[in-house]
Homo-oligomer: A and B are copies of this chain.
Amino acid sequence: MATDPWLSRELAYAPSPEQGYAFELRTRAVPALKAGEVLVRNLMFSCDPTQFAWLNGGNSYAPRIRAGDVMRAWAAGRVVASRHPDFEPGQRVWGTCGWQDYSISDGSGILPLAHIPDDIPLSYPLGLTGISGVTAHLGMIEIGRVAVGDTVVVSSAAGATGSVAAQLARNRGARVIGIAGGADKCRWLLDGLQLTAAIDYKSGELEQRLAEHCPNGIDVYFDNVGGPTLDAVLGRMADHGRIALCGATSLYGGSSASLQHGLMILARRLTVRGFVIMDHRDRFAAISAELTAAARSGQLTTREDIAQGLEAAPSALLRLLEGKNIGKQLVQLEAAASEPMLCATKR
């Protein structure tokens, strides 16, 4: 247990040919803060598919995570010490941290949570009304331009982002077909999220089910997985359809990225657009406020899958690849037990 504020456990990336994604636990003394720095006690980690993109190559916002680096994660926590003018001890924050008890930031990657009302769980800025929800909104509303009567398909529809994307389309009057793996998830898509139809991709009948549920083609596809699922949907798109590429979880596990139906982009005059939330930071606050209102009124709901303790972070993250999580996958740290406001939620 990291009860000493000046000792911090952390998980460093330690890939191996045998284990693939693997991490090594180490303990370090937290260095003294320099001017402009903030010390954050992490309370909850978000598990996101984009973390595999960071491990596999990074992008202009997030450099590649290399062997020996502390694993990067989006997290919520509390400021315990600050030499930065915008942060003060006791304040709740969220942002880019690491898999560690304590993170030091120069303030550029973290934001105060002061505006989050008390009845909103701390997990929401990482999920329904935050990272996952804002991503879903960008993909479904701004890129997908979903409209009443559209036929919409969402992959990973029982996941954190897909489940919000599907609900946003449903709320706008679209016919929504969710793709998920397994009967439990499909049941939640129908009973919990009231989607038009659910397709269990593990049935091996994805193409037939898509043809059955989308006789006039697919107007909007929100893609979280890439690979063969993207290819199957490409083959069923309607003229002028829109595809929002939000993630490619199928590929992080090693599947082929080869697309056989790429020619449909031309034949059906599709718009295919990849996006990452960091390109749209200026839109975050407004979209998050809209999602928070929708969540409070019951128009949006979520499920959360919460693993306990820092050591659980690697297996929690790998659950995304294995498709084991239903809804948002989170990791709650030991320190969260002493956080009164964390429990003052309606989860």
Contact = CB atoms under 8 A, between A and B. Distances in A.
Interface string A253-280: 0000111111111111111111110010
Given A259-B258, A260-B257, A247 B266 contact: yes
Contacts of A60: 239
Most buried by B among A240, A262, A276: A262
A257 B265 contact: no
Contact of A262 (B247, B258, B271): B258
Nearest to A272: B272
Interface in A143-200: none
Contacts of A279: 240, 269
B274 A267 contact: yes
Nearest to A58: B267
| Copies of this chain per assembly | 2
Nearest to A258: B258
A270 B60 CA distance: 14
A171 to B, nearest CB: 26
A186 to B, nearest CB: 26
B271 A226 contact: no
A317 interface: no
A57 interface: yes
B257 A263 contact: yes
Contacts of A258: 258-260, 262
A126 to B, nearest CB: 21
A265 B262 CA distance: 12
A44 interface: no
Contacts of A257: 260-263
20 contacts: A59-B267, A60-B239, A240-B279, A251-B263, A257-B260, A257-B262, A257-B263, A258-B262, A259-B262, A262-B262, A265-B272, A267-B274, A268-B274, A269-B273, A269-B274, A269-B276, A270-B272, A270-B273, A271-B271, A271-B274
